[in-house]
Chain A
């Protein structure tokens, strides 16, 4: 475990010196927390009665009885942005993992590292946690900022309760880390297979697409995220994570990486 800790500390010491990564970790969750707050603020100031007719009937049905029409609309507007919190644990690890793994190769530091008695599992676990922990913390802190902000901005306690319902807590606390694990292992897998570091970064970004599709699906009214869907997603992503971890360890072949990767 000491070696894993050493890798995590080393990764953080290195990665957080990269301004682009640091910017992503700080800026992204802030933006994703502030956007729904702005929507809440606007909704709370205007009073949204006039817009309730614009809401899809599906969503109106999901609003609890203790919400007025305008409160339901407020919840509806903000719910559109809640999926952004699911993008944070996907985007941040890609940045970190792409920098930490491909970076090892470009600086040719991977060979001396692999020459130490560290096992592949320890190395990958260290790199995994180094990317997952900041992503999860950034997501949680972003959500906390949003929750506190919502408590301050929204005048109706019913709306606050609806916004911080168990579904979104489940999404942020459970699904978020699972997405982060999926993202970082996908980045490790891609990095281990491709020969060009830039290609690794670009291909890794593909992992964001499924969540973007869900986001588009919800905005266009195709479906609405509910607790059941979040549970189903968590289960699917959990299974994908297990497969990804297995594949990441399998594809991280020391020999292939050393002899075929071109810096």
Chain B
């Protein structure tokens, strides 16, 4: 759906995006993570034909960046970092303007559909400037969807929103995902990325890694199993380390933390061994590192 090859953007002497090669599949929610100033917004602007790359190529829904910019802009929807609404105009009029600019077949119908869908229909006559941040963000999201774009670029959709509004926006993004739209999501909210994204790209001027959140965890930290014991027994750790498929095993308080590649295959053997050695097992679980840990590890090591 989106393909970039060595996409590069330089501003005077600043290299904002360095040889980005990326593929985003149809119907996928792709999280684009990176620190402030990493070049995420610049990438989104290039992919939405707002600015042109210095080097490299890209296609968006098969349309070539640079030669089919107008078509690309008709195909994609964008939620910019700031809602950028016409604050003196009503919510309905804000959307009508865009429905006409996108040459939507039934402008009034589409405006009503999205105002209702996002719970703004009752406030449609109110000036956008009187809306709360969450409502403005929802209105901007509605604006991005009016022309039913196949691909949606969302730049920090929940930034500066209170938890309730952020939840509403996230739920709506989930609904869009279920509709099969391709979503390119730039966010600093790693929990949000973890919950919403099929794959994640960590970016800092250049692409550090692309994968699913789970595989990324495994790649960065490996897989770890935690076994809660009723009593601490130092010798159990040594017994486990002797097993060829266990990389490391350590006892912390009454918890055995085992580093292992394939817990699904080896956990039954481990449990049998521990029980045979007289261990009283209370719980067994996987130590799941947060995406934040993974992200920080990647960015700090870059």
Do A and B associate with each other? yes
Residues of A within 8 A of B (CB): 2-3, 6, 9-10, 13-14, 17-18, 107-119, 254-255, 258-259
A115 touching B51, Cβ below 8 Å: no
Alpha-carbon gap, A116 to B143, bound state (A): 11
Of B45, B87, B98, B140, which one neighbours A116 at CB under 8 angstroms?
B98
A107 touching B87, Cβ below 8 Å: yes
Alpha-carbon gap, A88 to B101, bound state (A): 31
Q: Scan residues 216-237 of chain B and give those whose CB is less than 8 A from a CB of chain A.
A: none
A residues near B71, Cβ cutoff 8 Å: 117
B245 close to A (CB within 8 Å):
no
B100 touching A109, Cβ below 8 Å: no
A residues near B80, Cβ cutoff 8 Å: 108, 111-112, 115
Of B87, B88, B100, B140, which one neighbours A6 at CB under 8 angstroms?
B100
- Which 10 A-B residue pairings sit nearest by Cβ, starting from the closest? A6-B100, A109-B84, A108-B82, A116-B101, A108-B84, A255-B51, A117-B74, A17-B88, A117-B73, A115-B78
Of B48, B89, B93, B103, which one neighbours A115 at CB under 8 angstroms?
B48
Would you call the interface of chain A mostly helix, strand, loop, or mixed? helix
A residues near B70, Cβ cutoff 8 Å: 117, 119
Question: Interface residues of B toward A: which range?
Answer: 20 to 34
Whole-angstrom distance from the CB of B196 to the nearest CB of chain A?
Answer: 22
B85 close to A (CB within 8 Å):
yes
Which B residue's beta carbon lies closest to that of A16? Answer: B88
A residues near B87, Cβ cutoff 8 Å: 107
B101 touching A258, Cβ below 8 Å: no
Of B45, B82, B83, B101, which one neighbours A3 at CB under 8 angstroms?
B101
Residues of B within 8 A of A (CB): 11, 45, 48-52, 70-71, 73-74, 76, 78, 80, 82-89, 93, 97-98, 100-103, 140, 143-144
Alpha-carbon gap, A114 to B83, bound state (A): 14
Which A residue's beta carbon lies closest to that of B103? Answer: A2
Could you give 7 example pairs across A and B, Cβ below 8 Å?
Answer: A111-B84, A113-B84, A115-B48, A116-B98, A118-B101, A254-B51, A255-B50
Which B residue's beta carbon lies closest to that of A114? Answer: B50
Whole-angstrom distance from the CB of B104 to the nearest CB of chain A?
Answer: 11
B residues near A118, Cβ cutoff 8 Å: 101
B residues near A109, Cβ cutoff 8 Å: 84-86
Whole-angstrom distance from the CB of B271 to the nearest CB of chain A?
Answer: 56
Of B48, B78, B100, most buried by chain A (CB within 10 Å of CB) is B100
B residues near A116, Cβ cutoff 8 Å: 73, 98, 101-102
A residues near B45, Cβ cutoff 8 Å: 258
Which A residue's beta carbon lies closest to that of B49? Answer: A115
B residues near A17, Cβ cutoff 8 Å: 88-89
A10 and B97 contact, Cβ closer than 8 Å, known pairs A107-B85, A115-B50 = yes
A259 touching B93, Cβ below 8 Å: no
A residues near B52, Cβ cutoff 8 Å: 255
B100 touching A2, Cβ below 8 Å: yes
A117 touching B101, Cβ below 8 Å: yes
Whole-angstrom distance from the CB of A103 to the nearest CB of chain B?
Answer: 9
Which B residue's beta carbon lies closest to that of A253? Answer: B51
Alpha-carbon gap, A3 to B76, bound state (A): 18
Of B84, B87, B140, most buried by chain A (CB within 10 Å of CB) is B84
A-B contact sample (7 more), CB < 8 A, given A2-B100, A111-B80, A116-B102: A6-B101, A13-B86, A109-B85, A111-B82, A116-B98, A117-B71, A258-B45
Which A residue's beta carbon lies closest to that of B140? Answer: A112
A259 and B84 contact, Cβ closer than 8 Å, known pairs A116-B101, A254-B50 = no
Alpha-carbon gap, A108 to B143, bound state (A): 15
A residues near B85, Cβ cutoff 8 Å: 107, 109
Which A residue's beta carbon lies closest to that of B72? Answer: A117
B residues near A10, Cβ cutoff 8 Å: 86, 89, 93, 97
A6 touching B102, Cβ below 8 Å: no
Whole-angstrom distance from the CB of B7 to the nearest CB of chain A?
Answer: 15
Alpha-carbon gap, A6 to B102, bound state (A): 11
